[in-house]
Amino acid sequence: MLEEIKMQDMISNRSAFYNLYKIEEMTETAQATLYEGNETGEGTMRCFEIAPGIQITYNDLNMDSCFQPIRFEKNFLQINHCLEGCYECELESGTVSFLGEGDLCVDYLSKDKQVFLGSRIPLKKYRGITVLLEMETAQCTLDQGFQQAHINLEQIRNRLCSDGRSLIIKSKHEIDHIFSELYSVDERIQVPYFWIKVIELLLFLSLLDDSAVQRPQQFSADISKRTQEVYQYVIENPFTKDTIQDLAYMFGMAESSLKRCFKSISGVSIGAFMKRKRIEAAAEMLISESTLSIGEVGNIAGYENQSKFSAAFKSVMGVTPQTYRHKYC
């Protein structure tokens, strides 16, 4: 019971990102596996208390929403990295913004102000890491353990989140380097390795060039909803002959809004997404409809000749249609 209470204290400090339902286990290293489930799906979060005031959470969520408002009793710096999928946050202005694949987001969670009014997982898939630092306690921990690093959380907060808004850093080599290794670290060295990576991350943020950061693009809830409908339409109709302009008209939105919002949600342009889904569907047809020639499959996929189909196919799948069919048939 005492361990559960201790874990609940950890949870109470976690961001409004989460709606935690069940504590599966708690270990001596302050690790907990938290299972989340509701009518929209399920997911898993593995939480590690690295040091006083510093936590790391691995998020693997397959659901539409997991939001629950939480009142903070202290101030936090929250750093989220999205490996796969997308996360949508509803802001107090009534607009929404997205954390997409490869992006890093820095938020200041104040005890005096609620930044997020709600959230969703538009694609029902989100994998990522959250680093959560309780400002006062974490600063003491850093001062005692890594004084030579001269990390000042208040300075990071003032520089990156001074106006209370989130800050997005688009995927770049330094971010990929820091986080890629965190997703595959050996369990035997997890906690000390987490320490090293947290310090590396905070040093990176301390020296970050202003040119690398941007404020999250914001969209109306209606634009977000319509864009997600377009996303689903493309998945269900991979061989559609509709242009991007056609889709914008069909779903009642400006083409420019569709393009911007779609990229925020999916991480790629709508044109690239449509091409990938078309080629992936064609690849399935090469296997399931073995009596059709490659040219015929290409025509169904919307390519006027086999040469163009082969070039497009190889650009997405890495091999020609002939090689792909030979390998899997």
Residue 16 is predicted with a pLDDT of 32
Q: What is the pLDDT of residue 217?
A: 85
Specify the pLDDT at position 15.
39
SS3 (DSSP) at 232: helix
Name the residue among 12, 48, 46, 13 with its Cα closest to residue 135. 13
| Whether 53 contacts 60, CB under 8 Å | no
Question: What fold characterizes domain 2-214?
Answer: Jelly Rolls (2.60.120)
In sequence order, the β-bridge partners of residue 49 are 55
**Mean pLDDT, 10 residues at a time, the chain of 329 residues:** 34 38 39 72 89 94 78 88 91 83 89 76 92 96 90 92 75 82 90 93 87 77 94 96 97 97 91 97 96 96 95 97 92
DSSP assigned state of 149: G
pLDDT at res. 210: 66
Q: Would you state the pLDDT for residue 100?
A: 87
The whole-model pTM stands at: 0.77
> In angstroms, rounded to a whole number, what is the distance separating the alpha carbons of residues 120 and 125?
10
Report which of 90, 84, 78, 77 is spatially closest to residue 61, judged by C-alpha positions.
84
CATH 1.10.10.60: which residues of the chain? 220-328
Report pLDDT for 169: 80
Residue 244, SS3 per DSSP: helix
Q: What is the CATH number of domain 220-328?
A: 1.10.10.60
| Residues of each domain in the chain carrying CATH 2.60.120.10 | 2-214
